[in-house]
Structure 1
Amino acid sequence: MPVTYRCTNCRFEADLGWFHHHRFDDGYFATKLLVCTRCGTSHQVRIALRASIGDLARTGPRCDVSLVNVGQHRARVLAAIRETTGGGLHDAMLRAAQVPTSLVEDVDLTEANEIRARFESAGGQVDVRMRPPEPAPPPIPKQRDELGVWVSPEGGGEPAWQVCPIEGERRGEFGEFDLEAQSCYRCAARGTLVSEIPSEVSCCPRCGEDALRAQGGWIT
């Protein structure tokens, strides 16, 4: 969870920490927010998606499962409902009294068949319905880790993230690099890019006053 730091003496503000992305279309799954402790310039590391595309894609048919018959062994079926939905006894009793009723939605065929077998052994009956197939998602590009800096364009305009060259060796297929070996884009200081500030440090990197304070965070 990123933490927002503000200086009570000047207008300096920076978000530091790690957050994950909700979409992976660009080939990146997380971002680490950084700041230069010497000049206060914001940087970031975009972390390339490590999982293969096949690991992310849902393969095979998807199913909805509904309870259609409780049968004679009510207690067994109530236990099967609780195991399937994760709900309590009261919820299971409500579902059993309202058949046909939905149990789970959008599960793969293997899980649907396991649920079917569970209820059949308990004396109940479920209905498994296949969902229409979803279109295949577009391919996700394979990326390497990327260092960026928050700067204003040379010709003027709104600040934006700009890719920085990586110093030193890159490792592996995702181009991992040592953050300690990277220089600040603005002041060229090396080893000053950090994603967290120790609690005992309160000196503002912009004005130098003892006025830097953590003021809450945010969750993606």
Structure 2
Amino acid sequence: MLLIDVYVPQGIFGEQERQALGRRLIDAVMVEDDSHAIEVLDAERRLVQVLVHEPAGWVLGQRPEADPADLPRYFVRVSVPAPWRKEVSTHLVHTLTVVLAQTEAAARRDPERLRREPHALVHIVGISEGSIGIYGRSVGAREVEEQVTRPYRDAVARGAVLQAPEGKLIDPVCGMTVGRGHAHAGAPGGRGRVLFRLLSPLLRG
């Protein structure tokens, strides 16, 4: 589960641009390729939301004073289950900054300034166990993981899962296709498997 709050200066984006930014952020985080079980991908996407905010006031501390809209500033806060935070932070900061840079390039502004100047601030926030509320109850990281992998596990139980390609293995929990002898992150526990689905570029190496 991920909640991504994006704060941008007022007047920079229209409604279509805000929607496009949100979609790009989701697509960047929810990596899809042929090695991923579609059941898990769809379950993950149901638990990801992006909120784009335009604060009424935005004051920069720099001298001389500057308008945050002149060279648009960004503040992004990503909320994840606390046990995931340390593992995903580096990847998320990089990935989200890349998306913001692409947004700047599309607007014909200098995307590299987001790497030269502190114009894109990203916070990765871990939500304490039992402090996430979905389905009308409090849940922890383990239950989120079980919800995400359940559709695939149900498909396995029905016998509705394809055989692994030659030289490959399919993880029976999350459906990830991996090479023989290359156990992926988190095995044998479930959290690494779910993180591999959510953030496979980070854990692929």
Greater percentage in helix: 2
- Same fold, TM-score > 0.5, yes or no: no
If asked which structure has higher relative contact order (CA below 8 Å, sep 6+), I would say 1
TM-score for the superposition, normalised by structure 1: 0.23
Higher strand share: 1
